[in-house]
Structure 1
């Protein structure tokens, strides 16, 4: 999933779709409701605090942790997840959302001024840039050990720069989902496709009934176009494989390379196919004007059968919608085009990096990199962790549980949203606008040529 608050090299403080779910929250202290600020740590010797003994010894200190976007629910979720830690250690974790930081440049200026928080929530591109500029600290030994033990090599690579770990993987989202109605499928005898060819055959079967099988929408205010870039990234990963995907993102092959043209043409067989879209919403051009949050709603009315969108979309269905394998809506893994290329998964997520090595900051880092924190945050709800040590039974939400299963699948080939790792002029600029123009009728070659021409020299 791309990111809402993005800047150069994918500076991102929250996945775009997640940020769109709720309004920006005000500064909140995660330990405000507990006794975390108390120097006496009244709960330190209780059985409940036994797991936190290793973090004690820094009572009366404060560690600040900021991010650049989010919702009240997400902020409250973090508050609950660290409450016991603060009660048992006396370390106050002051988590806040900083609306003034809208780009990587803003963040660097804040660090240089000495006013940055101790911990920062960032995307993988920004982590790389901050590490190269020597603006953040390497992980402590304990945090490094926890990350190495808890996350796959793919996640460790995105948390690293130059082979050195700087970040702790935090939230995660699976973008490789197709939403559908289990009851609609059962009523019509449709099966969840296991391959791309099966998905196309199913689309043809549905289209033959007079229903346009796919519904889509890419309107997102100033970020209009980003859901269309997801289509390109999903197909690139499936059609060309992870190595070519990486080359494309790093501009080691041009944006108008024949391989990219093949990908766009494959996307067009669905997204620009008048027989396939836009179910319940209009013609192909209506994709450009339909708000991404509303695009899947025709599924509930039986006017559309399939909608590509990330795991966070589970939170965007109308109140009362039963999101489950036997409910009103659910999602299946977007199947591979070439099974020989493994199980491609496009993911989104954030990382926590540090600007300080104070002992209390390292204690919080160690906790945030632990299974205990990930489990605590998962149990609060509305959160997915790629930490493979978290018990899957900790998840109540079936989509969150499915996402965690996919992310920890040993056969999964994880790649982050490509546009967020591209220069902002492209990834958060022409890639969005040109894909929108393409939906509105611009030819494929001209679209790719325009994006290539915009790549910073």
Structure 2
């Protein structure tokens, strides 16, 4: 046995981090996550490279019920060493409850500024890394549906929201593709709209205050974002019933019909997987392309965050590895993966196709990067936000908006927001 391995065993046993009754037990890590199928295979490829280079074995359990499984294992007192958390809001809650271990010893990795949270003592520390990100602040369109003059205006780097609205209006009646249905949590595509509008129109401070429960739902920045979203709803394909019943993954499919049923779709980088399944097998660049959400150089991301529940040198080694450019490229380099990295050493040229390279460039150029707001809010607030979007879309009038925002504000005042 090498001196290095022996010293690690003695240190881990002295800390009581893992059971030390059997040979090599300190060199096995348990990880729980929601990645299955192709995502699970991509993550296992990352882990295999780590196992080969470190000699540490990683036992990964992938399940779509990861959140419930984690809660059960924590309740029983046997959590995994590390877990991929469903939302940054979960990270904040587990950190505040003292369940998560703060990262240390060079394991802070990537996205640390996005994964800081207050522990049970109120002190802010880094509690996770963003293993995989999706870019949400994107507007998609079919270049074939627009004249060359409109395409030139659309791709102007200084495009504003008002200019985009004018282009959409000139391109056709009811130009917006919009679908709010999801089997797990309908309404969230509308929250994505409101988040992007608020961040780009009112700036990161207002956004951060809102996410943290300091900015009232009845404040002007929030109310204005809802009204702008209401204008999108009023110019969306179909009526309110159509919007409410259309699945988010199918909302953009009418862009590829002849004649097109809608012209512009607001969706994250993951949407390309749905576009490719539409009739005619649309191709990137030719049949669909994107522009960044207009306005300030800001990007909203979704992200899969890895948190540590049982600290050890081996776990810290894994966390440090997952944030490296080499590990990140295993995932981002897969064609059609929709995965993007916050590691600045992963350059846009490292991505496998022109479309993903341009999305990566949008992320790299962003002056402000923020997590999806509803994913970061407490679960009860996020659920109310989703439901409020559905209520508003069913009746997008100012009087109804007052009722919706007053209800959300009442909940905010009684909800504890972890910092």
Q: Distance in 1 between matches of 2:406 and 2:26?
A: 58
Which ranges of 4 or more aligned residues in structure 1 deviate by more than 6 Å? none
Counterpart position of 1:240 = 202
SS class of match (2:44): helix
Cα contact 2:181–2:247 (8 A) shared by 1: yes
SS class of match (2:132): strand
The TM-score normalised by the length of structure 2 is: 0.82
Once the two structures are superposed, what CA deviation does each residue of 1:380-434 show, in whole Å capped at 9, x if it has no partner? Answer: 341211111113222114443233222222x421111111222222212x21122
2:115 pairs with 138, 154, 159, which one? Answer: 159
The answer to whether structure 1 residue 231 and structure 2 residue 197 are counterparts is: no
Query: Within 5 Å, which residues of 2 pair with 1:52-201?
Result: 61-67=27-33, 69-102=34-67, 107-122=70-85, 123-144=87-108, 147=109, 151=110, 155-161=111-117, 162-186=123-147, 189-191=150-152, 192-193=154-155, 194-201=159-166
Q: Are residues 70 and 362 of structure 1, via their aligned partners in 2, closer, same or farther at CA, if it must alter by over 3 Å?
A: closer
Query: Within 5 Å, which residues of 2 pair with 1:241-390?
Result: 241-271=203-233, 273=234, 276-278=235-237, 282-301=238-257, 302-319=260-277, 321-325=281-285, 327-336=286-295, 342-381=296-335, 382=337, 383-390=339-346
Q: Distance in 2 between matches of 1:362 and 1:261?
A: 44
Query: Within 5 Å, which residues of 2 pair with 1:207-218?
Result: 207=172, 211-218=173-180
Counterpart position of 1:3 = none
The answer to whether structure 1 residue 455 and structure 2 residue 417 are counterparts is: no
Cα contact 2:146–2:171 (8 A) shared by 1: no
The answer to whether structure 1 residue 395 and structure 2 residue 343 are counterparts is: no
Q: CA RMSD in A?
A: 2.4
SS class of match (1:240): helix
SS class of match (1:223): coil
Q: Distance in 2 between matches of 1:102 and 1:126?
A: 9
Q: Distance in 1 between matches of 2:256 and 2:329?
A: 33
Give how far 1:260 is off.
1.8
The TM-score normalised by the length of structure 1 is: 0.76
Give how far 1:232 is off.
1.0
Q: Are residues 222 and 214 of structure 1, via their aligned partners in 2, closer, same or farther at CA, if it must alter by over 3 Å?
A: same
Which sections of structure 1, spanning at least 5 residues, go unmatched? 1-38, 40-57, 337-341
Which sections of structure 2, spanning at least 5 residues, go unmatched? 6-23, 118-122, 415-419
Once the two structures are superposed, what CA deviation does each residue of 1:120-154 show, in whole Å capped at 9, x if it has no partner? Answer: 1123222222222221222231323xx2xxx4xxx
SS class of match (1:102): helix
Q: Are residues 59 and 109 of structure 1, via their aligned partners in 2, closer, same or farther at CA, if it must alter by over 3 Å?
A: closer
